Structure 1
Amino acid sequence: MKKSIVWMASYPKSGNTWARIFLANYMANMDRPVPINNAHRIAMGDSITKMYERVAGHPIDVTDVDAVLRLRPGVLRGIVANNADVNLVKTHNARTTARGVPLIPDQVTRSAVYMLRNPLDMVLSYARHYGMTPDEAVHVVSHPDNANPPDDQTVTQFMGSWSEHVRSWTAKAPYPILVLRYEDMLSDPRRSFAQLLAHLGMPVDPARLDRAIRFSSFDELSQQEKAEGFIEKSPESERFFARGESDQWKTDLPPRLVKKMKHAHRKVMKHYGYLE
């Protein structure tokens, strides 16, 4: 079995979609932006219900978590069966096991890109995306059993708390893991995205890099979403691409919730420069 999967991993609302749209534009190398509703083709998701039904050979009950997990090894084998050197796969799953099933098995993994974001900003975007209050979002992203429940389109995604998720993906691994901070992607996109390309073994062409960054800017993505909608938008939220800024928490997250988040995630926040 070929080790061809490069995981594009993150906690929700941490820059995964942005990075994939950048890659779509860089690879396409066109004189106009790639439509955002085509960009998902650059990295398949690991939790798409249809993929599990294809392995099962029939419709599945996505609420039967154990049965779905038993199908996961077959889904991942199906991804690597094309014998490609690299298969980009998006995931929000933690690098852990769920009910005895490895979610990110070494046997199919070539490398990983892990994107993380200041959890004080992430939790605000998380709340908007999932139709939660900030209080509810602070609770769930700090809970060890946090998971995205299944629906017709996706199976359960096992995330755990933000700190657990970050630790799982940044722990020692038998393959390379590139860690990118969302804030660095914002402040120095040329450096961050050049690192991403180099990690994937792609040549870094400066003009092409600048064009792909411009074509994946938040202004561009917001305009496209306004005009055409976005297939990855949650039905609970008004839009997917909101402000896309850093330090929104300073004005938008109540001090008592800031205190709760810092208490729950202090060690990991400090390690990645999110606490003085």
Structure 2
Amino acid sequence: MNAPRPQAVIWLASYPRSGNTFLRTLIANYFSGLERPLSLEELMLSTWGEHVEDIWQGITGKNPVQRSHTDEFYARPAYFAQLRARIPNQLRLVKTHTPYVNMDGKPAFSFVPGDRLIHVIRHPCDVAISFAHYFGIGLDEAIRRLTTRDTCHTDHPQMGHELIGSWSQHARSWIGMREIPGFGIRYVDLATRTAPVLADIVRFLGHQPVPARIDAAIGFSRFERLRAQEDAAGFIENAGRGNQSFFREGRPGQWQEVLSPAQSQRLFDADPELIDRFAFATDLAA
């Protein structure tokens, strides 16, 4: 008897603190068909990711503290095979902060026919600010991590290891991906030109955008509304991080007010070609 064909998913890839949650909130609210915003709990149920602990333990036989980064990397094909089988046959969103890389010839991702990718890239200077707040570290340490290849997170022991790489390494890995259809967006465009960008995303996913649903999804996904939901009921992705809000601000261009010239230059110098390609040095709103 033939094994069932793996179900396709929509990969949502970004460096941490680059707008992935805002992206999936917009998509989930658009496709929900509801006349109200999804709760944060409903949002979590609409999107899957790399930290379903019972799958990891079933494959490796180890808890997150016992597992090494290599344990998790080599188990990724089995992990995602089980994840695909578990996701309901509805909106099949899978969030990832892992770069599209190989280790010892083994890829971090195994795609199947029908998979699609949406990749969001954010100005590294704004990423550094949000990164520092979220992980409770200084700006200089955040910049060091963003400019260090093969950076691996262990800041949240109960979530295991998370390979993110440097900002440049991560961005280039997904920009160069050619295995499945991909759609790339800058976070600044998602934040400031939300309606046309969301309409383009809906088209990329094979649907004709409905203007009224676009407008509703944008209203349901406003940062103030998400922040109010988090304040009222909490948010699982922010668990264990004290009083810091997950939905802090999301405003493009903060780096011009917060970073010193030397700090921003360190991020620019890490990959000047990519900075120029995405107009991050010249677009003051980026």
TM-score, normalised with respect to structure 1: 0.91
Conserved? CA contact 1:48–1:155, under 8 Å: no
Q: Deviations over 1:82-137 (max 9, x none)?
A: 69597321000000123543112234771210011111111100110111100000
Q: What amino acid maps onto 1:123 in structure 2?
A: A
Q: Distance in 1 between matches of 2:40 and 2:90?
A: 25
Q: Distance in 2 between matches of 1:49 and 1:150?
A: 16
Q: Distance in 1 between matches of 2:95 and 2:138?
A: 26
Aligned to 2:58: 54
Q: Distance in 2 between matches of 1:229 and 1:61?
A: 25
Q: Distance in 1 between matches of 2:137 and 2:167?
A: 16
Tell me which moved more, 114-123 or 48-57.
48-57
Q: Distance in 1 between matches of 2:180 and 2:91?
A: 14
Aligned to 1:266: 272
Structure 1 vs Structure 2 CA RMSD: 2.2
Tell me which moved more, 130-139 or 34-43.
34-43
Aligned to 1:168: 173
Aligned to 2:198: 193
Q: Distance in 1 between matches of 2:21 and 2:66?
A: 24
Q: How far did 1:253 drift? A: 0.9
Tell me which moved more, 55-64 or 218-227.
55-64
Aligned to 1:250: 256
Q: Distance in 2 between matches of 1:208 and 1:85?
A: 18
- Where 1:12 maps in the other structure, the secondary structure is coil
TM-score, normalised with respect to structure 2: 0.88
Aligned to 2:228: 223
- Where 1:245 maps in the other structure, the secondary structure is coil
- Where 1:105 maps in the other structure, the secondary structure is coil
What is the number of equivalent residue pairs in this alignment?
Answer: 276
Give structure 2 stretches of 5+ with no counterpart.
Answer: none
Conserved? CA contact 1:80–1:108, under 8 Å: no
Q: Is 1:36 paired with 2:43?
A: no
Q: How far did 1:75 drift? A: 1.1
Q: What amino acid maps onto 2:280 in structure 1?
A: Y
Alignment of 1:124-143 (within 5 A): 124-143=129-148
**Selected match of 1:232 from 219, 231, 237:** 237
Tell me which moved more, 233-242 or 220-229.
233-242
Q: Distance in 2 between matches of 1:59 and 1:108?
A: 32
Identity %: 28
Call closer, same or farther: CA 1:86–1:230 in 2, change over 3 Å: closer
Aligned to 1:45: 49
Q: How far did 1:229 drift? A: 1.5
Tell me which moved more, 220-229 or 235-244.
235-244
Tell me which moved more, 40-49 or 114-123.
40-49
Q: Is 1:4 paired with 2:17?
A: no
